C-alpha cells in the first residue's frame, strides 16, 4: 500500500449508494484516497465518506458543466492529484419500450444530460490531471442495455450505447497516458432495483435462466471496475458483467 502522501486518488461519481458506494469501498481497500459524490443524497454521501479511511464528500450535479468542473477541481484541491475516474452517476425511468409516447423528448434530454453529457463533462475536466502522471484510468459504467435491445427504457439504453462508443473513442484519443474502459452490468440488486416493481419479473427470469442463476451485486461490479483499473494493457474495452445473461 502507498504511503498517505503518495497514495493514488480516485473520484467516483454517484457513489452515495449502490454500485458507486461498492466501487469506492473496493478502491479504498486497495489503497486509494477517495472523493465521494452525489447530486442529492448528501447525508448518505457523507456517511460513505466517513466510513472510508481517507475520503471526502463533494456534492455536485455532473449534468451541469460548471458543477462537473467544480467536482474535479475540489478533488485536486483536496488531494493534489487525480489518478482514477469512475463515471458511475446515471439515471433512468422505467418505460415499456412499446410506449413511444411515454419516452418524451424531455425524458431523452434528462437521461442524456446526466448519463452522456455528465460523463463527458467530468471526463474532459479530469483529463489534464489524469494525464499528469502518465498512467491515468477512466472506467465508465454502462449496462447490458448498451449493446442489447433491453433496458428500463429506450432513452436509457441508447444513452448507454453512447457511453460505450464514447469509451472506445476516448481510449483511442487519450492513450498512452490514460486508459479508458467500461463495465456493462446486467441486473444488479440495489436499494432502487429492489423497490422498483419493474425489475421484479426481470430478477426472477435472471435467477431461473442465466448460467450463474443469480442477480448481480454491487460488489460484483466493484470487482470488475477494480480489475479494469489494474489491467495495465487494456483500453477501449467494454467488460460485460451479467452472470452469463448474454448467452441465453
145-164 pLDDT tens trace? 899 998 899 999 999 999 99
Determine the average pLDDT of the residues in 113-119.
Answer: 98
Residue 103, domain CATH:
3.40.50.720
Q: Which domain holds residue 92?
A: 9-189+217-240
Model-wide pTM > 0.75: yes
Q: What confidence score (pLDDT) does residue 200 get?
A: 80
Q: Give the 3-state DSSP-derived string for the chain, with helices as H, strands as E and coil as C.
A: CCCCCCCCEEEECCCCCHHHHHHHHHHHHCCCEEEEEECCCHHHHHHHHHCCCCEEEEECCCCCHHHHHHHHHHHHHHHCCCCEEEECCCCCCCCCCCCCCCCCHHHHHHHHHHHHHHHHHHHHHHHHHHHCCCCEEEEEECCHHHCCCCCCCHHHHHHHHHHHHHHHHHHHHHCCCEEEEEEEECCECCHHHHHCHHHHHHHHHHHHHCCCCCCECHHHHHHHHHHHHHCCCCCCCEEEECCCHHHC
Residue 156 falls in the annotated catalytic set = yes
Active-site hit among 32, 57, 79, 156: 156
Residue 199 lies in a domain: no
Confidence of residue 29 (pLDDT cuts 50, 70, 90): very high
Look at the chain and report how many structural domains it folds into.
1
Amino acid at each position: 500500500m502507498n504511503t498517505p502522501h503518495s497514495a493514488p486518488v480516485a473520484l467516483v461519481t454517484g457513489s452515495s449508494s449502490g454500485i458507486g458506494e461498492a466501487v469506492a469501498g473496493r478502491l479504498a481497500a486497495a489503497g486509494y484516497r477517495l472523493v465521494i459524490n452525489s447530486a442529492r443524497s448528501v447525508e448518505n454521501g457523507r456517511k460513505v465518506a466517513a466510513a472510508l479511511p481517507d475520503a471526502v464528500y463533494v456534492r455536485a450535479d455532473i449534468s451541469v458543466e460548471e458543477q462537473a468542473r467544480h467536482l474535479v477541481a475540489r478533488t485536486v484541491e483536496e488531494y493534489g492529484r487525480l489518478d482514477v475516474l469512475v463515471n458511475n452517476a446515471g439515471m433512468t425511468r422505467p418505460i415499456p419500450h412499446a410506449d413511444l409516447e411515454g419516452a418524451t423528448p424531455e425524458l431523452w434530454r434528462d437521461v442524456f444530460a446526466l448519463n452522456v453529457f455528465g460523463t463527458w463533462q467530468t471526463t474532459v475536466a479530469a483529463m489534464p490531471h489524469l494525464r499528469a502522471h502518465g498512467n491515468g484510468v477512466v472506467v465508465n459504467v454502462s449496462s447490458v442495455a448498451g449493446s442489447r435491445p433491453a433496458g428500463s427504457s429506450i432513452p436509457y439504453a441508447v444513452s448507454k450505447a453512447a457511453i460505450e462508443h464514447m469509451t472506445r473513442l476516448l481510449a483511442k484519443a487519450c492513450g498512452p497516458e490514460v486508459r479508458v474502459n467500461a463495465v456493462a452490468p446486467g441486473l444488479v440488486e440495489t436499494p432502487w432495483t429492489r423497490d422498483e416493481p419493474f425489475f421484479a419479473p426481470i430478477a426472477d427470469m435472471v435467477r431461473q435462466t442465466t448460467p450463474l442463476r443469480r442477480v448481480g451485486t454491487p460488489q460484483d461490479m466493484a470487482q470488475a471496475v477494480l480489475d479494469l483499473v489494474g489491467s495495465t494493457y487494456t483500453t477501449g474495452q467494454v467488460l460485460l458483467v451479467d452472470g452469463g445473461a448474454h448467452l441465453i
